[in-house]
Amino acid sequence: MQLRVALPKGRLLASTATLLEKAGWALEDYREKARLDRLKSKTLNVLQAKMFQEKDIPIQVAIGNYDLGICGLDWITEQTVKFPSSAVVILKFLGYGEGALYAATRPESIEGDELVTQGDSVRLAGEYPNLAESLAQKLRLRRFSIYPLWGSADAYPPENAEIVMLSCRNEAEIASLGLRSLGKIVDFRACLIVNKESLRIKDMSALLSSINSQLAQAATGAPETYFDIKRITQRVVRKSLPDDCQVRLALPDGHQQAHVRRILDAVGVKIEDYPSVTGNRRPHSSLDGFFIKVIRPQDMPLQVANGNFDLAITGRDWLTNHLYQFPQSPVRELLDLKYGKVRIVAVVANEVPVSTSSELQQLRQSQQASCRIATEYVNIADNYARLNHLGAYRIVPTWGATEAFLPEDADVLIENTETGSTIARHNLKIIETLFESTACVIGGMREADSKLKVERMASFVSLLRKAMETMT
């Protein structure tokens, strides 16, 4: 009998590696930037371990792909607060994990116990949409919107959200971001979790006692803080906007920055501190009447759709993913920027005897188990499964390194690829190219926009079109 364990990359990796080393697991190559995600133990034959993004781990344990997992209490709570009958059970608190998830707002948004909003709705943004919904319920908000984010939550207040959910070490760190804490939602304590069914039927005693023997007595209690939040009530104060002709432009953070900078440079648009070494999210530019913010490209279509931004530079992959979820969304592609070209593909393991999606459909008809589709693009994957009549299927959301999910943790991937070499290296094959994606300018069409604003938006798009011509 094999025991499958999901181990975290990132913030909990070093402490987890130390714990497991002391517990005698002798895992080969469990470290940052390890060559392989699959880990072998020199001492425990029954052990099959694999590294995941921490966020993936509660999902992998819940769906039964893994018997045990180690991850932060925040991601576990994000799952269990929405799905109380989830198969994930917390076995132990491991005594490490620094910081907490906080709710925060801008100091000027809070007056006494009142949260001041311009509109009727309180906007909550963050990487934890289920906890955000629970927070809104606990605060008994009369009306609220939740913006799930891939990251950069601190950039949103006050213009684009009243409350953000932030991962910070302490309240001082929140203050250093120019925000004020409303309280702690949950501690980032590392937990050992188990799949409920595995706990019932599998003998995991050797692994459990090896970990348990390393835990200090004080570390094993339940330290969680859930929703220790200041009680606030909402007060709507309607102010006329300072400049309703201003165009709100979202520029991408991460690796796209250099491309965007080159395009802007080509037409003489001066932009200060972008890319920023200090993490400045509001760079100034020579574009008259523009307000610029730097956020994640994955979050841009939704942020343009909900009216937080007028224009944004993102990828067609993320726009398509958004439009599959919200076909009536007002967001449209305005200009193809032609860089960052990738193909969005359906992928299976080499040993699966199919070479096209229709062959996959035929194969699925003879199979009992639900088809597991792992992807960062959950709506594109959902659409793919429906159009190809894959029968019973489940989408397994992932946060990167999706190739490592095949073959044991998923049956199909919907993934992006530049050359296909990573896919081939993982012993996988492409069975369909769904579409090609490049960077693009997107915009939201609103009748209420002023003439000057529409002109400014159009002239920005023309300017970038000119840049494209200059550069080619």
Partner 1 sequence: MQIERCKGCNDLTAEEMLRFRSVEAAFQETFKSYGYSEVRTPTLEYLYLFTSAGTLTPGMLRRVYSFLDWDGWSGERVVLKPDATIPVARFYTDRLSQREQPARLSYVTNIFIFEETGTKARERWQCGAELIGAGSSMADAELVGLACDSIKKMGLNNIEIKLSHAGLIREILSSLGLNHNEQDGIFDRILDGETDVLNKLQAEKPQTIEALKLLLGTRGKSSSFLKNMRALFAANIPQVQDALEDFIATIELVETMGLNYQIDFTSGKGFEYYTGFIFHLFVEDENVGGGGRYDHLVGMMGGQPTPAAGFALYIDKLATKINIDSLYIPVAQRVSLSIEAGAMKEGVEVAGLLRKAGWIVSLALQGKPAVNCGWQVEVRQSVPQLTVLNCGSGESRVCENPIEILTIVGCG
Our finding on whether 200 is near partner 1 (CB under 8 A) is no
Please, what sign has the CA dihedral across residues 93, 95, 97, 98? positive
Size of the site for partner 1 (CB under 8 A): 29
Task: Determine if 326 is a binding residue for partner 1 (CB under 8 A).
Answer: yes
Pick from 321, 365, 344: nearest CA to 420: 344
Q: Does 103 bind partner 1 (CB under 8 A)?
A: no
Applying CB under 8 A, among 136, 165, 378, 413 the residue interacting with partner 1 is 136
Nearer of residues 70 and 166 to partner 1, judged by Cβ: 166
* Closest-CA residue to 106 (of 181, 7, 47): 181
Q: Is 145 in the site for partner 1 (CB under 8 A)?
A: yes
Q: How far apart are CA 415 and CA 186, in angstroms?
A: 32
Q: Is residue 394 a contact residue for partner 1 (CB under 8 A)?
A: no
CB of 10 to partner 1, least distance (A): 27
Which lies closer to partner 1 via its Cβ, residue 302 or residue 406? 302
DSSP string covering 274-300: SS-SS--SS--BS-TTEEEEEE-GGGH
Distance CA 206, CA 228 (A): 37
- Smallest distance, Å, CB 145 to partner 1? 3
Q: Which of 52, 102, 128, 144 binds partner 1 (CB under 8 A)?
A: 144
Q: Compute the Cα dihedral for 299, 305, 306, 307 and give only its sign.
A: positive
Calculate the alpha carbon distances from 91 to 194, 221, 432 in Å: 7, 10, 42
Stretch binding partner 1 (CB under 8 A), from 14-22, 211-219, 319-327, 445-453: 319-327
Number of CB atoms found within 10 A of residue 17's CB: 17
To partner 1, the closest distance from the beta carbon of 238 in angstroms equals 16
- Interacting positions 113-132 with partner 1 (CB under 8 A): 121, 123
Nearer to partner 1, 366 or 472 (CB): 366
Contacts of 358 (CB under 8 A, 6+ apart): 388
394: left (phi over 0), alpha (psi -120 to 50) or beta: beta
Q: What are phi and psi of 102, to 5 degrees?
A: -115, 155
Answer for which of 20, 305, 347, 406 binds partner 1 (CB under 8 A) is 305
CB of 328 to partner 1, least distance (A): 5
Binding residue for partner 1, selected from 147, 156, 290, 460, defined by CB under 8 A: 147
Q: How far apart are CA 325 and CA 305, in angstroms?
A: 12
Counting contacts by CB under 8 A, is residue 379 touching partner 1? Answer: no
Q: Under the criterion CB under 8 A, does residue 361 sit at the interface with partner 1?
A: no
| Contacting residue, 22, 38, 42, 138, with partner 1 by CB under 8 A | 138
Per CB under 8 A, the segment of 7-15, 193-201, 273-281, 322-330 that binds partner 1 is: 322-330
316 sits near partner 1 (criterion: CB under 8 A): no
What are the residues whose beta carbons fall under 8 Å from the beta carbon of 85, sequence distance 6 or more?
none
Assigned token pair, 47? 């052990």
Nearest to 233 by CA among 105, 110, 102, 123: 110
Q: Which stretch binds partner 1 (CB under 8 A): 198-206, 266-274, 321-329, 397-405?
A: 321-329
For tokens 């949103």, what's the residue?
A: 156
Specify the residue, 6 or 302, whose C-beta has the smaller distance to partner 1: 302
Q: Which token pair is 463?
A: 């300017």
Structure tokens at 445: 């069409």
The answer to whether residue 140 forms part of the interface with partner 1 (CB under 8 A) is: yes
> Exposed, middle or buried, 353 (CB in 10 Å: 0-12/13-18/19+)?
exposed
Q: Binding marks (x or -) toward partner 1, 274..303, rule CB under 8 A?
A: ----------------------------x-
Find the binder of partner 1 among 240, 328, 421, 472 (CB under 8 A): 328
What are the residues binding partner 1 (CB under 8 A)? 84-85, 121, 123, 133-134, 136-138, 140-147, 302, 305-306, 322, 325-329, 368, 391-392
